[in-house]
Structure 1
Amino acid sequence: MQVEEQSYTLETFNVDERCDKNNEDNLHSCVKKAIQAIIKEEHYSSYKKRVKPIIPDGGNYLASLYEIGITGETDDGVKEINLFVKQAVPADNLHGFLDIDRAYLKEVFFYTELSNIFDTLQSKANVPAEFRFKYVKCFKQSGTQAIIMENLAKKDFKVPYRMDIMPMKFAESSAKELAKFHALSFVIEKEMPEYYKNTIENEKTVLNFNDKYVSDTLATVNCLCHGDYRMNNILAKEENGEITVIPIDYQLLFYGSPVTDLIYLLYSSADSEFRKNHERHIKDIYRRTMDEFLKYFDIDMEKVFPTEVFERDFERMRGLGFYVTLVLLPICYSDESNVVEPGSDLINKTIHVDKRFQERVAGVCEEYIKYKENYVNA
């Protein structure tokens, strides 16, 4: 299978161009050009454009968010498209913790290249439409300044509230999609070994925070990992008692152990009580889904990702869950009256947390003590 190499233009913007939340149409100039290119590509003869900034709610840090609706006349009649725009924040407040240009390029890579490979492989294997890995439509005009996607809020998809504990159905569906995402790496390794070696294995993290935990993410079995698989990065829609989820936000993609994503989900989006009662069930859902999905490609899960390795790596890397949770929780639980704004200086900012934060952290600390007694010191 041949894949064309993609090249992207790195455009920079001045810090003074940062988002002014009081101005509805304060998009960077190159983002405005991208929107105009989409309008031209959609063959509008006349149109009206509505730009609505999304008020920060503490669930997002690396982008200013916009909804853009375009309605107008085409040769085929009236047409409406709804866009969701993630506009990059300046990097001056990131203190070198994250390479934001690389982060946006990772997401462009996923939506413009990797998703096409996923589609081709799943079609070739005759994976049923309802069982395929799901992702949002992204426009090719996306780049380092903004990711431009279909606005699925118009189709009743929502992101769960950041302080909630994920519901069981949501957790099950999220584990299933994660299993398929990881499984597709094993499929690429089988069907496109050179691409896997040259591209997938070279996806390094854009984070620079703790070398110990970054190095520990590599294990016996590795694949392409989401890197930020939490409730706020998963769209959900409930219909007739069934829930459909679509993972989003691929800016932290990296090559490492697949268990890191599952640990991240269970520790960022659930509390100790949930893990105590349901962790085994969610892990089993993940494994069963991966096994079933890989069978379409004639791959034996136990040969590429043995259960013994999965269980061993999960316990070995559980410490990452404690670490990431304690780093992430203050942002997730920032008080409604003082949310962390996109691009704000987290080092020099005082974060006021909701009263639920203390209970959640206490549970994590108690869990860590038991983990050290039963696993680390065993």
Structure 2
Amino acid sequence: MQDYEKSEVNNKNGVCGVNVLSPTLHEAVKDIIKREGYLTHELNARSLPQDGANYMTKLVVATIKGKTAEGDKITDIFVKEILPDDENSFFLGSDFHLHELFVYREPLRYYMKFQEEAGIPIEDRYNIAQFYEESNSEFVILENLVSQGYTTVNRMDPITLNFAEQSVQQLAKFHSLAFVLKKKLPDYFDEKIKSLKYQVNFEGKWTTFLKNIYPVTMSELNDDKKKKTEAFLPIVVEKFPQYYKDTSVGCLCHGDYRANNILIKVDGGVIKKIIPVDYQVIRYGNPITDLIYFIFLGTDQQFRKDHLENIKNLYYDTMIRFLKYFDMDVEDYFPRTQFEKEFVAKLDFGFMSAAWLFPFLFASEDDLPEINGAIDKVEYKVDKRMKCRIEGIVDDFIKWGYL
């Protein structure tokens, strides 16, 4: 086999060929080829189109196939390449990217080490995608889990109970490992973790953005419900940033823990394994916000009626059990009484998150919003499924006394 890098061709699923790789990324891939021991290789790369699940990065997948001293080998990689910053936005994508790069290089490596040292069975660990050291300030390179049979659920459909249970258990383990990191490396935790803030400027442009997108989410409510949600908007503007700044429970939070940021492997209709990804919104804060965010962006009203209490309890009970591997008591870090109070006190974070994210979560795949440029002029075309989901959330929060 000769060394071969496929030329660029058009493809309905994006663009194929090594020409989709930037010069820097191409050099990084060459370094991977060398480090993986390829004697000869064929490299095929293609960009992925936007599908409404990703707005801040360009996505590329590449397959390296060839021979090593040990025999035939295939390496599939997935790349998140940073897009140029938009000076008109209320956030900088480069800041989020550097956070994700840091998390894979440091905290997640500690998490893998801690679990190994504690002798936690593979099937009971927090699952982490393989990270390649060739990642840098321009891109993050990971194993391509899709090539291994992983997929994501449809971002617009309500999640199933089985998916919710496994996802919440993984989230509880992720937060538990933050407490382990805090105990084992307190100086590191104070210096590196506590400094991770949510990279959004909540002044000026954020307020303008929120006031413009909020009516889009509420547009199909009846007049009475619309008035109730309009009256709540000033509270959202004031309280939402406070939730992101709250550190009453010091923890490393995922920040964007929702269904389409969780990859699943299904066998015979049963979810066998899940791997959380997309850590660019990682931050130091209150873990309750991750749990509530996941619930309200992924479930419908009937699910919350049937399972909300059980899902909440499963999260906490998983922390109790998982921390025992490290001879730690969750009560020393997140007492049950505080957990229950925090959950009730911050429940409206679910409404607030849905209020500004639903137009992106339910963006029509054939007409995605252009978020570059003037944020007060963005047009949103949303799927009809959003109406039922936001109505259910508004109904819940009316029933709970928030609206």
TM superposition score normalised by structure 2: 0.83
CA contact (8 A) 1:83 1:151 kept: yes
Give 1:46 shift.
Answer: 2.2
Structure 2 partner of 1:228? 256
Contact (CA 8 Å) 1:219, 1:313: kept in 2 or not?
no
Provide the C-alpha distance between the structure 2 equivalents of 1:26 and 1:156, rounded to a whole number of angstroms. Answer: 24
Aligned to 2:292: 263
Shift of 1:343: 5.9
Shift of 1:348: 2.8
Q: Could you state the TM-score of these two structures normalised by the residue count of structure 1?
A: 0.88
Q: Which residue of 1 aligns with 2:115?
A: 122
Q: Which residue of 1 aligns with 2:142?
A: 149
Q: Indicate whether 1:62 and 2:56 are aligned.
A: yes
Q: 1:279 to 1:112 in 2, by over 3 A?
A: same
Alpha-carbon distance change, 23 to 76 in structure 1, aligned in 2, over 3 angstroms: closer
CA displacement at 1:96 relative to structure 2: 3.5
Which residue of the partner structure matches residue 282 of structure 2? 253
CA gap of 1:344–1:64, structure 2 versus 1, over 3 A, is farther
Q: Which amino acid aligns with 2:274?
A: V
C-alpha distance in 1 between matches for 2:396 and 2:281? 27
**Matched residues, number:** 354
Match of 1:197, as an amino acid?
D
3-state secondary structure, aligned to 1:91: coil
Partners of 2:16 and 2:369 lie apart in 1 by: 19
Displacement of 1:74 in angstroms is 2.2
Code of the aligned partner of 1:30:
T
Match of 1:74 in 2: 68
Deviation digits for residues 175-211 of structure 1, max 9, x if unmatched? 0000000001111111111111111111111122467
Is 1:188 matched up with 2:177? no
The 8 Å contact of residues 89 and 373 in structure 2, kept in 1 or not, is answered as: no
Q: Give the Å deviation of 1:344.
A: 7.7
Aligned residue among 152, 156, 169 for 1:163: 156
Match of 1:372, SS?
coil
1:197 match? 190
Counterpart of 1:369, as a letter, is I
**Paired amino acid for 1:129:** I
Distance 2:376 2:127 in 1: 36
Deviations 1:220-267 (A, max 9, x none): 322000000000100011225343111000000111111000001001
Q: Which residue matches 1:215?
A: 242
Distance 2:160 2:129 in 1: 22
Deviation at 1:129, TM superposition (A): 1.7
How far 1:329 moved relative to its partner? 0.6
For the 8 Å contact 2:369–2:379, the answer to whether it is kept is no
* Aligned partner letter, 1:76: E
Letter in 2 for 1:137: Q
2:371/2:378 contact within 8 Å kept: no
Cα distance in 2 for partners of 1:29, 1:341 equals: 27
The one-letter amino acid paired with 1:260 is T
Change (3 A) 1:243 1:75: closer
Task: Report which stretch shifted further, 26-35 or 130-139.
Answer: 26-35
* Aligned-residue offset at 1:55: 2.1
Residue in 1 aligned with 2:311?
282
Contact 1:158 1:236 in 2 (8 A): yes
Q: Which amino acid aligns with 2:25?
A: V
Contact 1:108 1:147 in 2 (8 A): yes
Matched, 1:354 2:383: yes
Whether the aligned pair in 2 keeps the contact of 1:71 and 1:80 (CA below 8 Å) is yes
| Equivalent in the alignment of 1:87 | 81
* Residues 283 and 77 of structure 1: CA distance in aligned 2, closer, same or farther (over 3 Å): same
Given that residues 67 and 85 in structure 1 are in contact (C-alpha distance below 8 angstroms), is that contact kept between their aligned partners in structure 2?
yes
Aligned position for 2:224 = none
Letter in 2 for 1:272: Q
What's the CA shift string for 1:119-155, capped at 9, x where partnerless?
Answer: 2212222222211110100101112211111011111
Q: Which moved more, 1:344-353 or 1:169-178?
A: 344-353
1:26 corresponds to 2:20: yes
Cα deviation, 1:21-63, whole Å, max 9, x if unaligned, reads 5575333322222112211212223211111222221111111
| Residues in 2 aligned to 1:344 and 1:56: alpha-carbon distance in whole angstroms | 18
Aligned to 1:10: none
Aligned-residue Cα RMSD (Å) equals: 2.1
Structure 1: which 5+ runs fail to align?
A: 1-20
The corresponding residue for 2:266 is 238
Q: Give the secondary structure class of the aligned counterpart of 1:45.
A: strand
**Are the aligned partners of 1:56 and 1:341 in contact in 2 as well (CA < 8 Å)?**
no
Identity of aligned residues (%): 35
